[in-house]
Structure 1
Amino acid sequence: MNTGFLFRTCTAPTILTKFFRRSKGYKIIKRPDPSTLKMPTPGSAPSLMEIIKEKLRLNGPLTVAEYMHIISTNPTEGYYMKKDVIGEVGDFITSPEISQLFGEILAIWFYAETQKMGPGKPLQLVELGPGNGTLMVDFLRVLNRFGYKSDDVSLHLVEISDTMQSLQARRLCITHRATDIELPYYYEGETVSGIKVYWYNDLKKVPNNFSWFVAHEFFDVLPVHKFEKTEDGWRELLIDMDENGKLYYRISGKETQSAKVLIRPPLDAGDRTELEVSARSLGIARQLAHRVDEYGGLALIADYGHEGEKGDTFRAFHKHKVVHPLENPGECDLTADVDFSQLRIAASKTPGEGNYAVVAGPVQQKDFLERLQAKARLQILMDNAKTEEEKEKLKCAYDMLVDPKKMGERFKFLAFYPSSMGPILEKFPPLGFVSEK
């Protein structure tokens, strides 16, 4: 066969046109403008129970972490997405809502510890899960007293709930607006004193600059995986639905992928039979340690938790009372005590990591506040009170914060410093974390 002739014939323009001509061309699709898209209104979307039921049908039992994620962050029906849940009319109350003293003491701690590093200006004040914005109101008041001007500080809030973001904007800003979808922050505003305020849906989007990071009652709502130790090793606690449509717990028959990845020494040491691990919490702790060490600043975590001695703390709150976590999904606050020992491990130096933090704590809230002269601040507030009723309220609020039977022992503080601060902290120990000699 004359292969040369065949090749020339097949590559002739007429043959190519015949073989490769498209009978129909691709049409350009007109896509919608992302800025005009809106989520379904609450009530028009499937209920959380319907969503959970469908996920169980398609994928089988859910992990507790998956369940918590659905309940907390569903765009329309999620617990934090559709209503204000903090305060007397909500399901729980936080320390900043109890007394202005709490936020003031935290701001003073940041300012005092920053003086060990330098002037600390310009400053990014970053809060993870800002609640109603009350804590930042107290912070900004203290910064104003310390001489911070609008050019010295900017406020960066990590918040995924449009409902909570709206509350924060009304509390903090004199003007506020949505931003272009191309920007890393989805909302912006300005305080009455001219301080710029920005909202993000992810910590990774906050600019890498010298920052104070505050995480108050943030880690306790992050999803946790629950494990139990059986004769066959660690097995994960899963959530399933019975024939009557009621959710219940069951143990995985085999070792799940979560158990393989998350249960590592020293977590599985000793005689522990129950364990809770939040992969999301460990990742954020590493982020904070990295950012503090590489770009400068401080991180302070305040939450209720333990140091590794507890194993089963997953629960729900409704109207300030403890209820079953699997009942009425979306109507209750799901939470688990923070394991501060795990956060310490995540933030401290590990092989192969270039940035890590010097970790101080955890210490009990009672000790932290009292070591920072909270009683002296209480006395000043009482001296300025106009009535005996106001004085009594101040005393009751302070008692709520420091009484060991209330918040005093259950809530703890953990701090991250840049690794370069090690020698300085040996000479000038972290305020609030060590007893005065």
Structure 2
Amino acid sequence: MSDATPSLPELIDMQIRANGPISIASYMALCLTHPHQGYYKQADPLGPRGDFMTAPEISQMFGELIGFFCVNLWQQMGEPKSFTLLELGPGRGTLMQDALRVATKAEGFGDALHLQLFETNEELKARQAIRLSQYNPYWPTWIDAMSDDPLIVVGNEFFDALPIRQFVKGATGWHERLVGLKDGARSFGLSPTPIPESAMPEAVRGAALGEVYEVSLAGADVMHRLSKAVGRRGGAILAIDYGYPQTRTGETLQALRKHAYADPLKAPGAADLSAHVDFGALAEVANAAGLTVHPLATQSEFLTSLGITERAAVLSKANPGEAGNIGAAVDRLTGTGQMGGLFKVFCAASPGLIPPGLSS
């Protein structure tokens, strides 16, 4: 970026001055995916030197169990000779590397596999290309730019990063929360135009004054596109994220920078922005497309059902010097007070498929 090019904060402020306050969804989209200065267009955000840690970076066991999950579904589908495995937001490629190391041990799986990775970060794409080169990955420009083969989708911490809109209950209706400028600084405010109660989802009607409702139209659009594809071609969508099972009120927008919470308005493009996922809303979209939505599980329930305890025992026996670290990883991934309780596992699949770890 040259000295003459405005910074992302300057660009956002210029847009607000020219056109007025913007929605939180527009603000998030600019912060995260601006073509040149967006958070996900810049350096690798993962790991101890980044801003956050994801489950695949904590232990190989996470990806390995996802690999077993994919093989099981492929076998249930009759072991098609050609199928697409799509990962949304693959990060460094760690999850898929671990998953395919396990999955390709199943006879025929590797030969049938068409690996697709939906990624916007060029640095991460380069890492994925190196890590996953043996599987000849392809990077589609959009999530539904795919063939007509059966489709298995995996998204770990993807939906939480999609833009949301916020609405606040007022005396005369709901008002959208916007990002504007006050005394030259970015600040939250409310649109003066009320939205009637009847226009809101039934689940939030009757909310108390001041309560906040969040909706991700982008998340619903992604789920709609994927569900239509799976409904037509057969397969499943697996999404692992933090969120809540049914549509409700509650403010969850947050910013993370260097593994600490930050002001979401302070440094656009320099911090990760996210919000909890409304799994109930995603389920409605998937159901409408004819998919079966299986009961939401915690990450702890899912990984335990898939055999993380047994896998940890095998790894510890083979690497006794790492037994302590392996046990700590299991605790972090499955502890109810840690990721195991915070993260939920969502699966929508073709009728008749029984996703392993989620069949109860």
Q: TM-score, normalised by structure 2?
A: 0.94
Q: Are positions 1:374 and 2:308 aligned together?
A: yes
Q: Are positions 1:281 and 2:219 aligned together?
A: yes
TM superposition shift of 1:66: 0.3
The corresponding residue for 1:360 is: 294
Q: TM-score, normalised by structure 1?
A: 0.78
Q: Are positions 1:391 and 2:323 aligned together?
A: yes
The corresponding residue for 2:149 is: 209
Report the residue type matching 1:281 in the other structure: G
Report the residue type matching 2:343 in the other structure: F
1:319 and 1:364 mapped to 2: Cα distance? 26
The corresponding residue for 1:16 is: none
Confirm or deny: 8 A CA contact 2:144 2:226 kept in the other structure. Answer: no
Change (3 A) 1:217 1:80: same
3-state SS, counterpart of residue 242 of structure 2: strand
The corresponding residue for 1:181 is: none
**Any idea what the Cα deviations from partners look like across 1:408-437, whole Å, max 9, x if unmatched?**
111001111114x2xxx6xxx5432245xx
The corresponding residue for 1:26 is: none
The corresponding residue for 2:235 is: 297
Report the residue type matching 1:365 in the other structure: Q
**Any idea what the Cα deviations from partners look like across 1:302-323, whole Å, max 9, x if unmatched?**
1111123451000100111111
Change (3 A) 1:366 1:42: farther
2:109 and 2:343 mapped to 1: Cα distance? 32
Structure whose alpha-carbon radius of gyration is higher: 1
Q: Are positions 1:45 and 2:9 aligned together?
A: no
Q: Are positions 1:111 and 2:71 aligned together?
A: yes
Change (3 A) 1:316 1:117: same
Confirm or deny: 8 A CA contact 2:167 2:214 kept in the other structure. Answer: yes
Mean Cα displacement is larger for which, 43-52 or 275-284? 43-52
**Any idea what the Cα deviations from partners look like across 1:227-276, whole Å, max 9, x if unmatched?**
11111111111111122x211111110037xx999x54334335363111
Report the residue type matching 1:196 in the other structure: N
Report the residue type matching 1:125 in the other structure: L
The corresponding residue for 1:154 is: 114
Q: Are positions 1:99 and 2:59 aligned together?
A: yes
The corresponding residue for 2:186 is: 247
Confirm or deny: 8 A CA contact 1:45 1:76 kept in the other structure. Answer: no
**Number of positions where the alignment pairs a residue of Structure 1 with one of Structure 2:** 357
**Any idea what the Cα deviations from partners look like across 1:314-339, whole Å, max 9, x if unmatched?**
01001111111111111110000111
Residue among 133, 138, 163 paired with 1:198: 138
Residue among 10, 13, 19 paired with 1:59: 19
Confirm or deny: 8 A CA contact 1:292 1:416 kept in the other structure. Answer: no
Residue among 202, 207, 213 paired with 1:271: 207
TM superposition shift of 1:287: 1.4
TM superposition shift of 1:201: 2.5
TM superposition shift of 1:206: 2.3
2:197 and 2:115 mapped to 1: Cα distance? 39
Confirm or deny: 8 A CA contact 1:160 1:200 kept in the other structure. Answer: no
The corresponding residue for 1:131 is: 91
* Cα-Cα RMSD: 2.0
Change (3 A) 1:260 1:279: farther
The corresponding residue for 2:346 is: 414
Change (3 A) 1:341 1:78: same
The corresponding residue for 1:324 is: 263
The corresponding residue for 2:277 is: 338
3-state SS, counterpart of residue 168 of structure 1: helix
3-state SS, counterpart of residue 76 of structure 2: coil
Confirm or deny: 8 A CA contact 2:115 2:137 kept in the other structure. Answer: yes
TM superposition shift of 1:288: 1.6
3-state SS, counterpart of residue 48 of structure 2: coil
Report the residue type matching 1:399 in the other structure: D
Residue among 155, 162, 167 paired with 1:227: 167
1:116 and 1:229 mapped to 2: Cα distance? 47
Change (3 A) 1:202 1:45: farther
3-state SS, counterpart of residue 204 of structure 1: coil
Q: Are positions 1:237 and 2:167 aligned together?
A: no
The higher relative CO (CA closer than 8 Å, separation ≥ 6) is in 2
**Any idea what the Cα deviations from partners look like across 1:63-110, whole Å, max 9, x if unmatched?**
100000000011111111110001111000000000111111112122
1:392 and 1:159 mapped to 2: Cα distance? 34
1:402 and 1:430 mapped to 2: Cα distance? 19
2:77 and 2:130 mapped to 1: Cα distance? 34
Moved over 6 A (4+): none
